Structures are given as structure tokens and as C-alpha cells.
Amino acid sequence: MQERIVITGMGTVNPLGLSVEESWKNVINGVSGVAPITLFDSSILQVHIAAEVKNFNPDHFMDPKEARRRDRFEQLTVAAAKQAMAQSGLVVTEKNAGRIGVLISSAIGGLKSLQEAILTNDREGPRRVSPFFIPMLMPNGGAGMTAIELGIKGPCFSVASACASGADGIGTALMMLRAGMIDAALTGAGESTITMTGVAAFDRVGAMSRRNDSYQTTPQPFDKNRDGLVMGEGAGVIVLERESDAKARGATIYAELAGYGATADAYHVTAPHEFGEGGASAIRMALASAQANTEDIGYINAHGTGTFMNDQSETRAVKAALGKLAYQTPISSTKSMTGHMMGATGALEAIFCALAIRDGILPPTINYQTPDPECDLDYIPNKAREKKIDLAISNAFGFGGHNAVLAVRRYKG
């Protein structure tokens, strides 16, 4: 029997807070992180709203000089990673540094730095491009920066699978721990794409809500009147260890990371499969990895972006995977509050699953008003629900047809 892999630390900075507990309090209270964009002048765009990380000062988490040399997504990542390590109580030493992995992902990397470098090159010439541009751009920058800051010398890399990146990184860490390649992992994702280019590009794909004058009502996952996602930013990071190692050092164990499933739709570069076949297969794979059954699922944290096709496809995926039990299983989209943090969302939502198990509270889907006949499951509308659960799954689906599902279980030592 394979040894259990457990969560001993969690950290996050996101549109709802600068810590795990602040974020969780706001999620279960149905607080929206959506507001007018302040990170840049969006007046020439058709979208003027986003879910930004508020009151974030990178100098609180790293040397100010080093912070200036890093893209915002890297700053957010390091902040979440240091929180997770502090909560875990795991101390990096010369003896264990090579046995700890840093698997922290990003779907896009330093988009703000890329945009600024191109503009600088065009306006002022190549000699004015920052020598720190490449480290600020690369998607593995968050992982590399974290390893440097903490002195971790084990495997260090980033998984890039669009909006499934964070979940895929966590799932990869789970497999590496089970294989004995590492003894602990710092894993999750960071993302910051709220830039002129990022918002314009996602809007051109037709994915964004333009409800600028009534931003308090959007996004609306699974609602009949949903009109697109709201871009978010942030980071979520967890510490994973084998149960025996965590117990040996007296660590607090928050939950077990029990399973992981990943598939590809092989269907379309942006649209999900109409009937959610890939998503359903990933759910089944995660349950098999967790040695669990569909009736064990007490809660599903949905990908739930608020786009027409995603929500319909995901509903069908859940039905295909769970059958009649789909109608009895609570499901909600916390993106209705955090916005879509791209590659980082899956990592944050895994944290929310662990907290839902810990506290017996299921987060709501806010802004839900009008049922959609094609989305007819229990989406926990507008108000959190008290319910003790032992197993939650988190869905993360991304452009390119990437599907990743994590299963989080109550730890019963």
C-alpha cells in the first residue's frame, strides 16, 4: 500500500486576501474581488474590470532590490511560497535541501515584463532593454526565485499547461513523492496577466465579461446570463510530504492529497470538448489514484470560469463521471469571487478544498441568479453551506484541451 502524501503548509496571495485565513474568510462570506482595473489605464479597452491582488507589497517578502528585478507573478509566487513554508515548519538544511522539490508553475510567466521590453525596444532601442528581462519573463522564474530565496536544491521546474498548470504541478509533485524521488515538495503556481496585452488578448478570444458598469454582478458561473470570465491574479502554494516524515517532525497535517488525474481533449485549441469527455476521464483518473469511488465525493470545486462553453462542458463532464450522483454532489465556482487566476487558480482551489474539509464549510457560487437548463446541478448558490465532507475534488481545465483534477481527502491519522 502506497504511503499517504499530506499537506503540511499552505500559502496564498490573491484578490481576496494576502493570507490563507483572510482569503478563506472572504470566500465563505461570498466577498467579490472584482473591481475596476488599477494596474494600468484600461480606457482604450472594452474591458475595465479585473480581480487584482490588493495592497500587496513585495518588499514584505523579499529584499526590495531583488523585488525590483522580478516580474509581479514572481513576487506573488515567492510571497505564497514563504507563507506555506512558514506554516509547515519545514526547515531547509544542508542535509535535506537536495531532497525538497520546488514544482511551482505558471501558464504564461512574465507577461508584463514581456510587454514592457517590447515597447522599450521599439521606442528606445535594444540597449535600453533590461538585462533582467529574461529571468522576469520565463514561466519557471517563480520556481527558480523561490528555490533561491529558500535555499532549496532539489528538482525545480514549472509545468505549463494553460489554466491547468497549477493543478498539474501539484499532481506532478504527488507522483514524485510517491516514487521516492523527493521527500517534500513546495508546489503550486503564480500568475499575473492583468496587463494591457493580457486583457486585450483574452477579450479578443471572446472569453471576457464586459460588465464594466455592474462589475459586482460578474462573473456568473453556471448562470444562464453568464457573459465571460473576469481575469484575476495571484499565487497559491502548498507543502507536501510523506505522512511518516510529517509525523516524525510533529508537523500539523491539514489534509491528504489523495489523487491526481490528467487528460487531453485533443479537440480544439481554446474550446472545451462539447460533452466534457476529457474532463470526465480526468475525474475518473483522480478517483482511481485516490482509491476512491464517486459516492465518496462530498464537494467539487469547479473550474467554473463563467464562459458559456466551459460551464456547459464541465457540467456534462461531472454528469458523465458521476452519473446520477452528480445531482446530489455540491459543486461551486470560487472563481465567481477570485476571478480566473489562469495557471494559479487550480493551486488556490486545492487549498480551498483542504479548508472546506477542515471546517465543514462549502464555498458558494456568488452572482448566481437565473438557472440554466443546460447547467442543472447543485452549484451552492450565493451562500456558503455547512457540510462535513471527507473527499473533495478540484477541476482545472485549460486552453489546448488540458484537464487536471486533484482529489483532497480528510486526514485521519
C-alpha cell read off for 162: 494553460
Asked if the model's pLDDT at residue 322 lies above 90, the reply is yes
pLDDT over threshold 90, residue 413: no
| pLDDT greater than 80 at residue 272 | no
What's residue 155's pLDDT? 98
Q: Which of 172, 321, 231 is nearest to 49 (CA)?
A: 231
Evaluate if residue 301 carries a pLDDT over 90: yes
Query: Is-contact 377 231, C-beta < 8 A?
Result: no
pLDDT of residue 273: 73
Predicted confidence at residue 341, as pLDDT, reads 98
Q: Are 374 and 226 in contact (CB under 8 A)?
A: no
Joined together, the cell numbers standing for residue 36 give: 475596476
State how far the alpha carbon of 90 is from the alpha carbons of 15, 23, 87, in Å.
27, 23, 8
Q: What pLDDT was estimated at residue 275? A: 75
Give dist(CA 171, CA 185) in Å, integer.
11
CATH number of 5-248: 3.40.47.10
pLDDT class of 200 with cuts at 50, 70, 90 = very high
How many angstroms separate the CA atoms of 198 and 179, rounded? 38
**Distance, CA of 44 to CA of 26 (rounded, Å):** 32
Q: How is 156-175 classified by DSSP, letter by letter?
A: EE---BTBTHHHHHHHHHHH
pLDDT in tens, 32-46: 999 999 999 999 999
Pinpoint the residues of the chain covered by CATH 3.40.47.10: 5-248, 259-409
> Domain 259-409 belongs to what architecture?
3-Layer(aba) Sandwich (3.40)
d(CA 164, CA 243): 26
Residue 166 near residue 143, CB atoms below 8 Å: no
Q: What pLDDT does 21 receive?
A: 98
Q: What are phi and psi of 327, to 5 degrees?
A: -75, -15
For residue 399, the model assigns a pLDDT of: 80
**Which residues have a Cβ under 8 Å from the Cβ of 6 and sit 6 or more positions away?**
240, 241, 242, 243, 246, 253, 254, 255, 256, 257, 411
Quote the percentage of the chain above a pLDDT of 90.
93
Please provide the DSSP assignment of 365-379 as one string. Answer: BTT--SBBTTB-S--
CB-side neighbour CA atoms (13 Å) of 387: 20
Q: Is the pLDDT of residue 202 over 90?
A: yes
**Where residue 2 falls among pLDDT bands split at 50, 70, 90?**
confident
The whole model's pTM is what?
A: 0.96
Summarize the chain as % helix, strand, coil (round to 5). Answer: 40, 20, 40
Average pLDDT on 181-209 reads 96
- The model's pLDDT over 353-373, given as tens digits with 9 standing for 90+, comes to 999 999 999 999 999 999 999
> Per residue in 129-183, pLDDT tens?
998 989 889 999 999 999 999 999 999 999 999 999 999 999 999 999 999 999 9
Residue 265 has a pLDDT of 86
Checking if the pLDDT of 274 tops 80, the result is no
- pLDDT for 327 beyond 80: yes
- 268: confidence class by pLDDT, cuts 50, 70, 90: confident
Q: Which grid coordinates are listed for 273? A: 470538448
Instruction: Provide the residue count of the chain.
Output: 413
pLDDT tens sequence across 373-405: 999 999 999 999 999 999 999 999 998 889 999
Strand 184-191, strand 35-36: pairing = unpaired
Q: How many percent of the chain have pLDDT more than 70?
A: 100
pLDDT band at residue 13 using 50, 70 and 90 as cut-offs: very high
- Across the chain, mean pLDDT equals 96
- Mean pLDDT in residue range 219-241: 98
Q: What pLDDT score was predicted for residue 227?
A: 97
Q: Which residues are catalytic?
A: 163, 303, 340
User: What average pLDDT does this structure show over 61-66?
Assistant: 92
